């Protein structure tokens, strides 16, 4: 049998999403070049690589800055929960600030980096470091005017790091017409990552691309990433697929008559869409779902994009729900944000972070159509595809509300996600005899033998009630007061019939 070639060993970064698209992280014991313009997150990425190595993988590290002071660096990362002083006190981290002086880089009339090698070698030996980050290395090479010497010294630096067997991240600025300022380094490094920041519809959006990765397959696409309260996070578009477990357990929607229409409820882990025009009761259905989950002792996450949590809780109290008690019990968590408060990647990252921290069984996004504000339909759909995949992989039941604008077809959504959904409930306004009422029907329910009838949708002090619609003699749907009048008519006719039958019995008895 032919000998198998050894697989490239990977060094996990611990950065959310990045290790997914690189199948495990950076090349172990090799250098990686990270290039990007100012503000793209180069320093944060390299710092997290070092700090996650210490905290998650027990690998001491060294961070070398050619720009910022150690005090500034410590202050910057404290906001995302890292304590540099603690790791330095344990001798697991060294932060070096190298102030550049061209005279220090001159030896016998030639430029070289021997002085840098000595400092790094001493720090590696003192800490037992397995990881190193060199931040803003273009400042180091600013003393080299001869590109031939620059390339030779950079090659020597990478070779020296390889000989040490240390995994390195080297950050540098992007060039105007090349990945790096000098246009040379990317041909020498084993792995090259490009960071980019662009403005789309007046909102900043960031993208990451693995340009090169020797000896390893990797994602070739541009991947959105965010710099948030929890640090650097990459959104892997392709990491979540269709190979996930499914549940056979049925759970209640919280509306008994709707469960009957769905032959016993929905499957756990399903994606549910409730669409309709404004005022049809979409959020009321969501409240039922939350209340039912909390009554089962399950956690629910409510991602609100149009109303504040207090307003939602006040409004839902009018139909008999005390959502605040579930908040107080720790079973319900709200997150409210305007769609324009950040880019789509920022919202998705926040949603996933909250879900990871809170571990809900039910998630509500109300309404998904709000994502169309400041973003085109394809971007919004891409976000929702990733959200649906994320929830399914984790067996979380997700309910999305969608606003249908007047004039649009009822069986349509402006974010075009109906094909992703397992259960689609449509709420419609019905008009009859000068009165507007509501109706609900199940447009689709995958794997469920569901009812195809329209039911009248009533909002009462005890929540949503679904009642059978009635037809008049011409086959027209009767709802609201017309239905009540028809019921009264039928009741009167039935009473008259009983009276007539009783009268006939009395006459028969007399005879």
Please write the tens of the pLDDT for every residue from 413-468. Answer: 555 677 788 999 999 887 766 667 788 989 999 999 898 888 888 888 989 988 87
Mean pLDDT, rounded, for 33-56? 92
Q: How many CB atoms lie within 10 A of CB 454?
A: 18
Distance CA 56, CA 52 (A): 5
The mean predicted confidence, pLDDT, of the chain is 81
Q: Quick one: pLDDT at residue 145?
A: 64
pLDDT attached to residue 34:
92
Residue 279 is predicted with a pLDDT of 84
What's the whole-number mean pLDDT along residues 224-234?
Answer: 82
- The label of the residue with tokens 């006190």 reads 89
Is it the case that residue 379 has pLDDT exceeding 60?
Answer: yes
- pLDDT of 182 strictly over 70: no
DSSP letters spanning 339-383: GGGS-HHHHHHHHHHHHHHH--SEEEEE-GGGGGTTS-HHHHHHH
What's CA 269's distance to the chain center, in Å? Answer: 17
- pLDDT beyond 60 at 378: yes
pLDDT higher for 497 or 206?
A: 206
Residue that wins the pLDDT comparison between 508 and 116? 116
| Statement: residue 238 has pLDDT above 60 | no
Q: Do 10-234 and 250-468 have matching folds?
A: yes
d(CA 430, CA 432): 7
* Span 94-101, average pLDDT: 80
Determine the pLDDT at residue 139.
76
pLDDT of res. 115: 81
Which one of 1.10.3720.10, 3.40.50.300, 3.40.640.10, 3.40.710.10 gives the CATH number of domain 250-468? 3.40.50.300
Looking at residue 438, its pLDDT comes to 84
349 or 465: which leads in pLDDT: 465
CA nearest neighbour of 66 among 86, 32, 89, 42: 42
pLDDT number for residue 124 = 92
Q: Which of 15-19, 236-240, 282-286 has the highest mean pLDDT?
A: 282-286
Q: How far does Cα 158 stand from its chain's mean position?
A: 37
Structure token digits, residue 256: 């008994």
- In tens, the pLDDT along 315-340 reads 999 999 999 999 999 999 999 988 87
As a whole number of angstroms, the distance between CA 328 and CA 284 comes to 20
pLDDT attached to residue 322: 95
> In this predicted structure, what is the pLDDT of residue 185?
56
Q: What is the DSSP secondary-structure string of 261-328? A: HTTS-EETT-EEEEEESTTSSHHHHHHHHHHHHHHTT--EEEEESSS-HHHHHHHHHTTT--HHHHHH
Q: Where are the domains of the chain?
A: 10-234, 250-468, 471-511
Bigger pLDDT: 276 or 238? 276
More confident residue, 271 or 377: 271
Q: Do 471 and 477 contact (CB within 8 A), yes or no?
A: yes
pLDDT, average across residues 74-93: 88
CA–CA separation, 298 and 332 (whole Å): 9
pLDDT digits (tens, 9 = 90+) for 386-412: 888 889 889 999 999 988 875 455 555
Contacts 24+ apart (CB under 8 A), 70-75: 70/95, 70/96, 70/97, 73/43, 73/47
Can you give the pLDDT at residue 270?
93
For 97-114, give the DSSP string: E----GGGGEETTEE--H
Neighbour order of strands in the sheet with 167-172: 93-97, 61-65, 131-135, 167-172, 31-36, 191-200, 203-213, 223-228, 231-234
pLDDT of res. 433: 62
Instruction: Quote the percentage of the chain above a pLDDT of 70.
Output: 77
Q: Is the pLDDT of residue 375 over 60?
A: no
- Percent of the chain at pLDDT exceeding 90: 34
**Hey, which residues does 365 pair with through a beta bridge?**
303, 400
Does the pLDDT at position 227 exceed 60? yes
The enclosing H or E element of 32 equals strand 31-36
Confirm whether pTM is higher than 0.85: no
Least confident stretch, 2-16, 97-111, 252-266, 362-376: 97-111
Given a cut of 50, is residue 14 above it in pLDDT? yes
- Span 10-234 CATH architecture: 3-Layer(aba) Sandwich (3.40)
Per-residue model confidence as pLDDT tens digits over 472-508: 555 555 555 655 565 565 555 556 566 665 666 656 6
CB atoms within 10 A of CB 258: 25
Q: Which residue has the higher pLDDT, 59 or 491?
A: 59
């Amino acid at each position: 049998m032919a000998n198998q070639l050894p697989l490239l060993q990977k060094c996990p970064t611990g950065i959310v999403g990045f290790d997914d698209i690189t199948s495990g992280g950076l090349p172990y014991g090799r250098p990686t070049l990270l290039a990007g313009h100012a503000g793209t997150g180069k320093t944060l990425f390299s710092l997290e690589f070092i700090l996650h190595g210490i905290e998650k993988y027990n690998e001491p590290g060294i961070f070398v800055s050619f720009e910022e002071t150690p005090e500034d660096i410590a202050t910057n990362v404290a906001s995302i929960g890292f304590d540099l002083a603690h790791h330095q006190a344990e001798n697991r981290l060294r932060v070096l600030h190298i102030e550049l002086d061209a005279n220090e880089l001159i030896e016998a009339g030639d430029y070289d980096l021997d002085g840098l090698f000595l400092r790094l070698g001493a720090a590696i030996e003192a800490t037992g470091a397995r990881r190193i980050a060199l931040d803003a290395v273009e400042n180091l090479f600013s003393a080299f005017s001869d590109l031939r010497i620059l390339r030779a010294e950079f090659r020597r630096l990478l070779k020296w790091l390889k000989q040490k067997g240390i995994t390195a991240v080297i950050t540098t600025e992007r060039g105007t017409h090349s990945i790096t300022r000098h246009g040379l380094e990317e041909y020498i490094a084993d792995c090259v990552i490009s960071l980019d920041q662009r403005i789309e519809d007046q909102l900043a959006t960031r993208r990451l691309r693995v340009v090169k990765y020797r000896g390893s397959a990797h994602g070739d696409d541009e991947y959105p990433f965010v710099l948030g309260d929890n640090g650097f996070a990459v959104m892997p578009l392709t990491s979540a697929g269709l190979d996930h477990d499914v549940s056979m357990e049925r759970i209640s929607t919280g509306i008994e008559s709707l469960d009957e229409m769905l032959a016993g409820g929905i499957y756990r882990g399903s994606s549910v869409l409730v669409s309709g025009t404004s005022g049809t009761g979409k959020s009321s259905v969501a409240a039922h779902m939350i209340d039912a989950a909390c009554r089962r002792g399950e956690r629910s996450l409510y991602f609100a994009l149009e109303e504040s949590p207090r307003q939602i809780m006040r409004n839902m109290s009018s139909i008999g729900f005390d959502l605040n008690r579930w908040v107080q019990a720790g079973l319900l968590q709200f997150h409210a944000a305007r769609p324009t408060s950040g880019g789509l990647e920022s919202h998705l990252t926040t949603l996933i972070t909250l879900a990871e921290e809170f571990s809900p069984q039910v998630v509500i996004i109300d309404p998904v159509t709000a994502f169309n504000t400041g973003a085109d339909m394809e971007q919004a759909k891409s976000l929702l595809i990733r959200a649906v995949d994320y929830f399914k992989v984790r067996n979380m039941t997700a309910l999305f509300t969608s606003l249908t604008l007047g004039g649009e077809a009822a069986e349509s959504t402006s974010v075009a996600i109906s094909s992703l959904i397992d259960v689609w409930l449509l709420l419609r306004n019905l008009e009859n005899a000068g009165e507007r009422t509501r109706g609900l029907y199940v447009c689709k329910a995958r794997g469920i033998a569901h009812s195809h009838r329209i039911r009248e949708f009533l909002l009462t002090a005890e929540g949503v009630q679904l009642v059978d619609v009635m037809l008049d003699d011409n086959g027209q749907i009767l709802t609201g007061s017309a239905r009540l009048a028809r019921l009264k008519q039928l009741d009167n006719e039935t009473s008259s019939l009983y009276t007539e039958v009783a009268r006939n019995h009395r006459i028969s008895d007399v005879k």
